[in-house]
Structure 1
Amino acid sequence: MPETPSPTEGVTSELSDTQVVSETTPDEILASIKADVQRIIATTAFEPNNQTRWQVTKSGISSYLQQRYRQGDLHGETSDQAYWVKVGLGATMTEQDVAEGRMIVELGVLLTAADVQPSGRAVGIKPSDYTTLTFTEGTGAD
């Protein structure tokens, strides 16, 4: 006897024209983000530790997180609410970090929809709602 398809089989829950609801658990999403961001950071590992490297790294991570947002893995009415990325002198690093060849990247992602209405509109997001990750690359001088 053939299996009866689920009533929701093949149905994607849409939040907007550019974002869908993910069925992946927050822990799975976070593990994937960690691994992928580490790979993005590694692509600039042999570059001088300067503004150009930081911008390339930030841009790569931001593009990646924008894709995750559009897939529905990150929540918020806009991508600016769904994630943030920081890297650079004065933002995440001291002059000593730079001199010692360390690049420090911080990012925050909104993984849960606790404060997101069914329409996708985020309400009352607080800094504590974000899962914050810090990545440190390099320990030797350039």
Structure 2
Amino acid sequence: MLEFQAESLQRHAIEFGEWMVRASNDRAREMGHTGLRPALARLMVFIRWEGSRITDIARAQDVSKNAVGQLVSELEELGYVERVPDPADGRAKIVRYTDRGRALIADAAAIAEELDARIESIIGPERLAELRTTLADICHHLALGPPPP
């Protein structure tokens, strides 16, 4: 039983994911994004560049609209997003990035490159490419994460 616990895919996936979140958030704080916490950072992954409805974000994350609404309110207070009328339906609102939010996304891309380089230094470029493809395939087939662009 101890061998299963030490070598289980679940354990490795969870530990790796938690490391990615911690390392990303630590680096984001170093870059001046001090109010960002993991739940907020995760939510931002589900906001399309042109904006998203709260109902779509909630569905993609499999959480309630109220939970997403609270997180969006926090992101608004931090200045990363704003709620504006949906151009396709004036009755609805969309959440979209502000200039500060777009700057955070640019910083997040730089952080991702740093983390990729760190992982590549451990497993090499070919295995990193395989890891990226394998994880994308798994997520796609399990309908995890935001829909592909």
Please report the TM-score for the alignment, with normalisation by the length of structure 1: 0.31
In terms of Rg, which structure is larger? 1
Which one has a larger percent helix, Structure 1 or Structure 2? 2
